[in-house]
Amino acid sequence: MDAVVRQRHVRGIFPGYSLDHQAKAQKTQLDARRAGDRNNGAICKHNNKPRPNFMNKPLRKSDRQHTIKLFDGEVFQLRYVRPDDGPHLVEMFSHASAQDIHFRLLGAAHDFAGQMAEKFTHLDPETEVAIVATTLPDSGPEEIFGIVHLAQAHPDSDTAEYDIMVRSDFKHHGLGYRLMTEILQCARRRHLNVVTGLISADNFAMLQMAHELGFLSQRTEDNDVEVRLDFAEFDARLEAGLAAD
């Protein structure tokens, strides 16, 4: 399916598609590309060296996190997931609705919270990274409200697949969008060329967000939706659109 057809297909999926939101998303992508190796707030910073350990370099040498403020004023800390995050992740995933479990696994699962916590606290540092959104340290016991994960098939791959989840009782605040822009900036700084994802065909919110961030989509044989963001192709589309304005 060529790019034009895929774009039309995606637009057909999203009756509530917002041109203003897409413009903001495209500006975020353009700013990230223009920033190059400059640190503009992303948790993952490229260090001008070959990429032996994927995304394990922190923003600051002394501080592995930074804060973000959502449009409704909620403030969260973004940091890498840690091996001792298991209990916090179990708590987060225990809030998952049946629908979110279906969207996350494209089906049902036994002990969903335990399985997810086990997965994210045992990442391969050569090929995986996960960023969590947590409450602030001075606001009481830490809670995790969202996580985004990126994984390569092997360390030399220029392509990585993302997956993301926000607590089911904290939707529509913009946290998922911020986590996605964070991981895409991270991927650019690591010189990855392509980011992909697999989304349930009835997960309209995730499909719309992927579209707004520049992903193209196509149906799979299993009737799910594969989304793909090729940074070079996206940048060319964006520059063409800016030139036409």
Query: What is the block-wise mean pLDDT of the chain (245 residues), using blocks of 10 residues?
Result: 37 38 55 50 47 38 69 92 95 91 72 92 93 92 95 95 94 92 90 95 93 94 93 88 73
CB 77 within 8 A of CB 66: yes
Distances (CA, A) of 45 to 111, 180, 188, 189: 35, 16, 9, 6
Amino acid found at 190: R
pLDDT digits (tens, 9 = 90+) for 159-198: 999 999 999 989 889 999 999 999 998 899 888 999 999 9
pLDDT of 64 reads 57
Distances (CA, A) of 20 to 17, 26, 51: 9, 10, 36
Query: Given this structure, which CATH class describes domain 3-244?
Result: alpha beta
CB 162 within 8 A of CB 150: yes
Handedness of CA 17, 21, 27, 32 (dihedral sign): negative
pLDDT digits (tens, 9 = 90+) for 37-59: 444 445 564 434 333 333 444 33
The tokens for 38 are 């400059």
| Alpha-carbon gap, residue 107 to 235, rounded angstroms | 35
For the chain, give every domain's residue range: 3-244
pLDDT of 223 reads 85
pLDDT of 7 reads 39
Q: Helix, strand, coil % (nearest 5) of the chain? A: 40, 20, 35
Instruction: Flag whether the pTM goes above 0.85.
Output: no
pLDDT of 37 reads 42
pLDDT of 104 reads 79
pLDDT of 133 reads 96
Distances (CA, A) of 173 to 58, 71, 196: 26, 7, 24
pLDDT of 177 reads 93
Amino acid found at 174: G
